[in-house]
Amino acid sequence: MAFIQPIVFAIVTIAAFAFVFKKGKEIYRNINLGQKEDLTDQPDKRLKNMLLIALGQKKMFRITLPAIMHLFIYLAFLVTQIELLEIFIDGFTGQHRLLFHLFSETLDSGFLTGIYNFTISFIEVLSILALIATFVFLARRNLLKVPRFVKSEMNGWPKLDANIILIAEIWLVACIFMMNGADVAREIQINGSSPYGFLISGNIVGPALSGLNIDLLKVMERFGWWGHILGVLGFIVYLPYSKHLHIMLAFPNTYFSRLKPRGEIFNMPAITKEIKAMMDPNADPYAAPAEGAEAVAPPKFGAKDVQDLSWKNLLDAYSCTECGRCTAACPANQTGKLLSPRKIMMDTRDRLTEVGKNIDLHGPDFIDNKQLLGDFISVEELRACTTCQACVQECPINIDPLDIIVQLRRALIMEDSNSPEEWNLMFSNIENNAAPWQFSQQDREKWVSDLK
């Protein structure tokens, strides 16, 4: 029967990774539906951003307590991969703690088994800290109801998604201690002591379980082992449907962050070209195209749907952690207006996912008569934005909701002529007077002169 485990393990593991690879290709395809944007300059600065912000969690520490709790889970997630490596080796070979036994049979066995025991002990300590953090996060979301977690956009699936992941974390930690503790208890029953020097399982969990029936301990150890690996594989399969996709996408998202100064708004080349032509005294705006020149479609101003946005905007949407720090910092949201930068990102991701499904079901030319602007994000939300950059400043992984808002507003104003009368008056003043006020340049100069 020993050969059954490797076969079952291989089938389940390969199936899980094949599914995730397929979903990953779909997400990559969806992101590339966006417009081209070159974000490959200054690679040294981009690498530094990624290491400090994605790996180093630099921006998380604007709020200390959640940052420390998140750090516990984050470190546990990283370091547990070492124990996971051993589980995969045992799974494919059908062995039990193969690495430990290999280390114990070498000439340097004391040193190597010491490293092994220290590593597992470190993982157990981090697992306890992660468990504490998990209960804190569950309480913040469901008992304390921290305001940014109970906004309207978090109703339904977003709230359930967050709780599923936290409950899964409890399951994974419980399985680790069941596996390690039952293993230690069996060794105590068989040999009188355990060769495993695990800090928590070896001194607390194992001795507490050592009085149980040895066959029950074997079942508990296998249940913990399979429960942990199936939990991990289930998490991997679940990841593409969850906000926790940011675990993977935070790294490319921070690497490809826009390095322009915060507050600098992207100028549209088509507009720049027209303005330059208007200011060129030698340009003929009525000149016919050169003979044989290809007809050029009129440029689009702004964005109405996800395909009009940059691929980086779409990567931002998939990377969103739904933490709500952007919304909590938004002055429009604080004053009761409809705008929530987090909802902008969630709506963009939902629309992009819908477009991707339409492509899979009906082909790339399918038109569903829906768009991001209007069907997902309302005019009222867009007009509430003060363009203050607070949302961009607060995001832990450099997501830029403002860029999407600006592009959607451009489409509203420049494509649909949909802007309030007050804005139209300002636009007219800027066009005629080079200032938002209804005073000519001569009037302003006279006013300054009078002040002197």
pLDDT of 359-371, one tens digit each?
999 999 999 999 9
pLDDT of 196: 92
Q: Sorting pLDDT into bands at 50, 70 and 90, what band is 447?
A: confident
Q: Do residue 343 and residue 231 come from a single domain?
A: no
**Number of domains, the chain:** 2
Residue 57 resides in a domain:
no
Q: Residue 331 pLDDT > 70, yes or no?
A: yes
Domain membership of residue 126 as a residue range: 4-31+63-247
Residue 294 resides in a domain:
no
pLDDT of 48: 97
Q: Do residue 231 and residue 351 come from a single domain?
A: no
Residue 254 resides in a domain:
no
CATH code: domain of residue 387: 1.10.1060
Q: Residue 126 pLDDT > 60, yes or no?
A: yes
Specify whether the CB–CB gap between 202 and 120 falls below 8 A.
no
Residue 41 resides in a domain:
no
pLDDT of 104: 87
Q: Residue 203 pLDDT > 70, yes or no?
A: yes
pLDDT of 1: 54
pLDDT of 286-317, one tens digit each?
676 667 767 667 778 899 999 999 999 999 99
> What number is the average pLDDT over the span 258-273?
83
> What number is the average pLDDT over the span 272-278?
79
Q: Do residue 14 and residue 151 come from a single domain?
A: yes
Give the integer Cα–Cα distance in Å for 187 and 195.
8
Residue 51 resides in a domain:
no
pLDDT of 430: 87
Q: Sorting pLDDT into bands at 50, 70 and 90, what band is 438?
A: confident
Q: Do residue 158 and residue 82 come from a single domain?
A: yes
Q: Do residue 94 and residue 230 come from a single domain?
A: yes
Q: Do residue 311 and residue 412 come from a single domain?
A: yes
pLDDT of 293: 66
Q: Do residue 242 and residue 319 come from a single domain?
A: no
pLDDT of 295: 66
Q: Sorting pLDDT into bands at 50, 70 and 90, what band is 109?
A: confident
Residue 285 resides in a domain:
no
Q: Do residue 88 and residue 222 come from a single domain?
A: yes
Residue 43 resides in a domain:
no
Q: Do residue 319 and residue 240 come from a single domain?
A: no
Residue 293 resides in a domain:
no
pLDDT of 324: 96
pLDDT of 252: 97
Q: Do residue 243 and residue 304 come from a single domain?
A: no
Q: Do residue 237 and residue 305 come from a single domain?
A: no
Higher pLDDT, 63 or 149: 149
pLDDT of 49-84, one tens digit each?
999 999 999 999 988 999 999 999 999 999 999 989
Higher pLDDT, 148 or 276: 148
pLDDT of 22-42, one tens digit each?
999 999 999 999 999 999 999
Q: Residue 285 pLDDT > 70, yes or no?
A: no
Q: Do residue 227 and residue 315 come from a single domain?
A: no
Q: Sorting pLDDT into bands at 50, 70 and 90, what band is 86?
A: very high
Q: pTM (2 decimals)? A: 0.91
